[in-house]
Structure 1
Amino acid sequence: MALNRITPYITLFFSFLILSCSSDSDSSGTNTTDPTLANKQALGASARDFLSAEEFTSMNVEIAYVDGFRPSDATLSNLRAFFSERLNKPDGITFTETVVSASKVGSLNRDEYTKIEEDNRTVFNVGDELGVWVFFTNENSESDEGNSRILGTAYRNTSCIIFGETLRDFSSGFTGPSLTQLETVTTEHEFGHLFGLVNLGTPMVRDHEDETADDDGEETPNKHCDQENCLMYFQTVADATSTTMNGLPTFGEFCLEDLRANGGK
């Protein structure tokens, strides 16, 4: 699948070891009587809320999963360390686990996984606590095509989905990577987009947004970092599908500058 336009969600896909994403423009209106509205905004809208303690001094991350697809304890430990290292949340970070009924529709499209969130999400912004939804599904993405496989998608300001069946497909082979490696890298990459990277709600201190040539040969910004050693580089998660990855990737120099300038550590 070639990236030739900005489409309305961030998608992480694996295609011949090439990874790419696009930006989310979803917003659900201005009905302020809906207490969940604050968690139904465009991707990147809560970047500073994640990073700083100005509005939210704590965070509650709802780890939702289908039975049998719970992320490993090591993955959750990695996420805790990742959040503590980058986010200013002096009152702490809580994980709330929610078991979701297995989907029977097959591969999921955006409407379907958004509906799953709306039917099952229990954690929202409350007072000075930021609510987040991360769903580890038993399905793959309907947008998979040929050798292109989507691993995860950040699609609202505090929401992302991890396609657990696809991650298991990659880790099940004799030469496949560990499931914890795939879960950790994919989830942390998607949180990078929730944090507003790259140029997705968190302004760039220095220009480092990658550009990919489309079918017409025109270069299009793709909301990824152009530093190859960065967690937000477009191929980082594709590299995680290999057993040759040496340690877990982290944010590069330019992305760290952006996060710190927008209230993060």
Structure 2
Amino acid sequence: MTLNKITPYLTILFTSLILSCSSDNDSAATTTTDPTLANKKALGASARDFLSAEQFTSMNVEIAYVEGFRPSNTTLSNLRNLFSQRLNKPDGVIFTETVVPASTVGALNRDEYTKIEEDNRTVFNVGDELGVWVFFTNENSESDEGNSRILGTAYRNTSCIIFGETLRDFSRGITGPSLTQLETVTTEHEFGHLFGLVNLGTPMVRDHEDETADDDGEETPNKHCNQDNCLMYFQTVADATSTTMNGLPTFGEFCQEDLRANGGK
């Protein structure tokens, strides 16, 4: 597959915005004593919990993956560096690895990967430790359409999915980009959304939310940065699928300001 045939993008899902989703998965509760409810909120709801040490002084990131789709050690090392650079977690960050049975239903929709999380997630908020779920699946996204491919999706306050088969589609072949490059950029971009970027739980210090004209010509905020040198720029993932990317992107100046103002580094 080549870029002139397929245009990839990262997407975000949260209650009543961007794509439809079942509200009972995010906010409805049958009991107030369910210990997992704090990890079933809307995307962006835990932005300050990630960034500051006010409530959570440590973090446990569950790296869930289907056999054969484990992210590389370099990807995980890059992710650790990101946390060290941007999060105030004085008691540290640990990774918990969980092998998830391979999906056999084909391309996944939201209901399906939410069910996978509910069946397999073991790490939740406990005391002053923030729990996070990152799932590297063996499937593509059901939302892929035409020339658009989705590489990753942040969909709850502490949950995101990385579509491992799609990443491999782009990395295969002589001219394909590094799989580690794709894993790193995709995962760090989705964590940016979990951190509340852009204007998604972390307020903007300066206005820098990208606005793209819709079919009616109206400009619509899309929760990405309008600075083209930023990890949260909407085009970043397309650049990551190219072998011409020069190094790994980082948060731009405006996004860094937002993170620091909301308790981060």
Common topology (TM > 0.5): yes
1:138 is aligned with what amino acid? Answer: N
1:24 is aligned with what amino acid? Answer: F
1:85 is aligned with what amino acid? Answer: Q
Alignment of 1:76-95 (within 5 A): 76-95=76-95
CA contact (8 A) 1:15 1:148 kept: no
Map of 2:99 onto structure 1:
99
Map of 1:3 onto structure 2:
none
Alignment of 1:91-240 (within 5 A): 91-240=91-240
Paired positions, count? 252
CA distance in structure 1 between the aligned counterparts of 2:171 and 2:6, rounded to whole angstroms: 16
| Partner secondary structure for residue 133 of structure 1 | strand
Residues 1:125 and 1:15: Cα distance change in structure 2 (over 3 Å): farther
Residues 1:20 and 1:134: Cα distance change in structure 2 (over 3 Å): closer
CA distance in structure 2 between the aligned counterparts of 1:231 and 1:53, rounded to whole angstroms: 24
Map of 2:20 onto structure 1:
none
CA distance in structure 1 between the aligned counterparts of 2:50 and 2:10, rounded to whole angstroms: 23
- Per the TM alignment, residue 174 of structure 1 is displaced from its structure 2 partner at its CA by 1.4
Q: Give structure 1 regions of 4+ aligned residues with deviation exceeding 6 angstroms.
A: none
Instruction: Give deviations 1:32-63, integer Å, cap 9, x for gaps.
Output: 21100000000000000000000000000000
Instruction: Give deviations 1:113-158, integer Å, cap 9, x for gaps.
Output: 0000000000000000000000000000001112111000000000
Map of 1:72 onto structure 2:
72
1:242 is aligned with what amino acid? Answer: S
Map of 1:58 onto structure 2:
58
Map of 1:10 onto structure 2:
none
1:28 is aligned with what amino acid? Answer: S
Residues 1:15 and 1:64: Cα distance change in structure 2 (over 3 Å): farther
Map of 2:39 onto structure 1:
39
CA distance in structure 2 between the aligned counterparts of 1:230 and 1:17, rounded to whole angstroms: 19
Residues 1:17 and 1:148: Cα distance change in structure 2 (over 3 Å): closer
1:163 is aligned with what amino acid? Answer: F
CA contact (8 A) 2:10 2:151 kept: no
Give TM-score, length-normalised by structure 2.
0.92
Residues 1:144 and 1:68: Cα distance change in structure 2 (over 3 Å): same
| Partner secondary structure for residue 180 of structure 1 | helix
Map of 2:18 onto structure 1:
none
